[in-house]
């Protein structure tokens, strides 16, 4: 699943670069080398000692100032691109290096030419990971490939003839999306120094409407359906990947062919939950806390929720964020009991074993879900197609704690298109 997600993310980047054919892009190429220093936060008790974290990142992008497409003008001339970086977390023996490949988008901030915000989501390969015998103290990463995320704020403090010098501050995260435990993940806070190399080619003139059309405000309704196939693990004693099946729908509005907001629902079926119940494992056995789950394994392995969904369209590419509320997810209580009590809970759990307490943290994570990822649409959303299909790659979470990694296929129907005053 992680290999497929990596291929998808790289493909999204390629197609987003290839989707425009106008002369403006000949002079729109950007190159920004970046050096970052900061702190690698402790991922677990007894985490190896670390020195200063060091990163080198090369950002290859495109400045959309003169892109005539509506999304580029509505988003106030963003930059999009692809970055390749290498990270030394400050302890090569235990933490090793990470090599990261990541699509990104950068927006102007505070209405100023000097400030900008960059966010990106991609994948990282690690040279060191957890090993019970040779590397037991590093519980941050247990897989070779993980999700990678970054968000940074930059300030341009000096403009030279050949480059703009910038300082920045931000947050970086690496996690395997709950596809194997342990999965504490890396969280880092860093300072950045970068040089945005200026393109020597002259931008085309943009004074006429022929180059930059004057777009009217528009709105239309849509409904969408999608199916998804995810994977996750259940607990250390059940550390093999199994599927999460999803069906979801939503209804909402799209504004100016760029911004989407909708309300929806989702149904999910967790194979791990079902197999635990059907297998008559410890906590569902007669007389134990969850013995009633055996009365209807499918029902108790299911999850039903409602959502608020937002998305930004970059023509063929969608940047997707969803917040949800779980109406029904009974087996999450079982999962919490196993994973949040004593460490290394065995498969056969005695009645004397201390299980996770159903505290405030449990109640919040039990109810609040989130979903973050990228989509690639068959038809560009710039033209508001009546019927469209997409592929998506997403990380699903319980209030920020990874739940499962997912690939999805969806259908969108648009209707009631109208101009706004």
Do 297 and 371 sit in the same domain of this protein?
yes
Q: Of 162, 197, 232, which residue constitutes the final position of a domain?
A: 197
In three-state secondary structure terms, 250 is strand
Do 223 and 288 sit in the same domain of this protein?
yes
Domain limits for position 357: 218-419
| pLDDT tens digits for range 304-337 | 999 999 999 999 999 999 999 999 999 999 999 9
Do 136 and 282 sit in the same domain of this protein?
no
Dist. CA 291–CA 251, nearest whole Å: 38
Alpha-carbon distances of 259 from 73, 208, 214, 247, rounded to whole Å? 12, 26, 18, 23
Do you find a cis peptide bond into 182, omega within 30 degrees of 0?
yes
Do 383 and 283 sit in the same domain of this protein?
yes
Residue 326 maps to which CATH number?
2.40.160.20
Q: Of 197, 232, 259, which residue constitutes the final position of a domain?
A: 197
Dist. CA 377–CA 380, nearest whole Å: 6
Q: What is the pLDDT of residue 120?
A: 94
Do 177 and 30 sit in the same domain of this protein?
yes
Q: What is the pLDDT of residue 250?
A: 97
240 contact partners, CB below 8 Å, separation of at least 6: 233
Do 307 and 355 sit in the same domain of this protein?
yes
The token duo for 143 is 């897989």
Query: Does residue 367 form part of some domain?
Result: yes
Query: Does residue 317 form part of some domain?
Result: yes
Query: Does residue 9 form part of some domain?
Result: yes
Do 171 and 251 sit in the same domain of this protein?
no
Percent of the chain, pLDDT > 70? 90
Do 19 and 121 sit in the same domain of this protein?
yes
Query: Does residue 207 form part of some domain?
Result: no
In three-state secondary structure terms, 294 is helix
Do 189 and 247 sit in the same domain of this protein?
no
Q: Yes or no: say if 32 and 61 are a contact pair by the CB < 8 Å rule.
A: yes
Low-confidence stretches of the chain (pLDDT beneath 50): 17-18, 207-209
Q: What is the pLDDT of residue 417?
A: 87
In the block, tokens 């917040």 appear at: 323
The token duo for 78 is 């963003």
Do 227 and 192 sit in the same domain of this protein?
no
In three-state secondary structure terms, 298 is helix
Number of domains in the chain: 2
Query: Does residue 304 form part of some domain?
Result: yes
Which residue from 98, 168, 143 is spatially nearest to 405, judged by alpha carbons?
143
In the block, tokens 């704690």 appear at: 401
Query: Does residue 210 form part of some domain?
Result: no
Do 260 and 189 sit in the same domain of this protein?
no
Do 289 and 341 sit in the same domain of this protein?
yes
| pLDDT tens digits for range 59-91 | 999 998 888 888 988 898 899 999 999 999 999
Q: Of 197, 232, 251, which residue constitutes the final position of a domain?
A: 197
Dist. CA 402–CA 398, nearest whole Å: 6
| pLDDT tens digits for range 211-237 | 667 888 999 999 999 999 999 999 989
In the block, tokens 């000097």 appear at: 114
- pTM value is 0.87
Neighbours of 338 (CB within 10 A): 23
Which residue from 254, 250, 261, 376 is spatially nearest to 314, judged by alpha carbons?
376
Query: Does residue 187 form part of some domain?
Result: yes
Query: Does residue 385 form part of some domain?
Result: yes
């Amino acid at each position: 699943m992680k290999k497929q997600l990596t291929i998808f993310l790289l493909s999204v980047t390629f197609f987003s670069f290839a989707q425009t054919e106008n002369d403006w892009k000949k002079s729109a190429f950007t190159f920004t080398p970046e050096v970052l220093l900061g702190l690698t936060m402790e991922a677990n008790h007894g985490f190896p000692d670390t020195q200063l974290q060091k990163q080198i990142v090369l950002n290859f992008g495109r400045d959309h100032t003169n892109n005539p497409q509506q999304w580029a003008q509505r988003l106030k001339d963003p930059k999009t691109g692809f970055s390749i970086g290498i990270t030394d977390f400050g302890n090569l023996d235990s933490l090793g290096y990470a090599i990261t490949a990541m699509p990104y988008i950068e927006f102007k901030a505070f209405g100023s030419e000097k400030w900008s915000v960059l966010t990106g989501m991609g994948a990282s390969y690690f040279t060191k990971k957890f090993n019970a015998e040779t590397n037991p103290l590093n519980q941050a990463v247990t897989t070779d490939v993980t999700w990678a995320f970054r968000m940074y704020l930059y300030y341009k403090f000096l403009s030279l003839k050949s480059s703009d010098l910038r300082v920045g501050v931000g947050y970086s995260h690496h996690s395997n999306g709950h596809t194997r435990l342990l999965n504490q993940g890396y969280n880092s806070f860093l300072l950045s120094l970068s040089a945005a190399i200026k393109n020597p080619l002259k931008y085309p003139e943009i004074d006429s409407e022929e180059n930059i059309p004057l777009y009217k405000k528009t709105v239309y309704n849509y409904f969408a359906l999608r199916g998804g196939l995810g994977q996750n693990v259940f607990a250390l004693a059940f550390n093999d990947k199994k599927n999460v099946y999803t069906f979801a729908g939503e209804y909402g509005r799209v504004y100016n062919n760029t911004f989407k907001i909708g309300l929806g629902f989702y149904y999910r079926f967790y194979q791990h939950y079902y197999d635990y119940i059907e297998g008559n494992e410890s906590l569902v056995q007669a007389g134990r806390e969850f013995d009633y789950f055996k009365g209807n394994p499918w029902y108790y392995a299911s999850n039903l929720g409602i959502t608020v969904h937002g998305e930004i369209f970059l023509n063929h590419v969608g940047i997707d964020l969803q917040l949800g509320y779980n109406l029904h997810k009974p087996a999450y209580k079982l999962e919490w009991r196993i994973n949040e009590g004593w460490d290394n809970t065995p498969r056969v759990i005695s009645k004397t074993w201390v299980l996770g307490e159903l505290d405030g943290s449990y109640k919040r994570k039990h109810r609040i879900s989130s979903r973050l990822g990228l989509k690639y649409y068959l038809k560009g959303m710039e033209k508001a197609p009546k019927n469209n299909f997409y592929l998506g790659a997403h990380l699903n979470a319980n209030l920020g704690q990874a739940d499962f990694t997912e690939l999805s296929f969806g259908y969108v129907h648009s209707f009631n298109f109208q101009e706004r005053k």
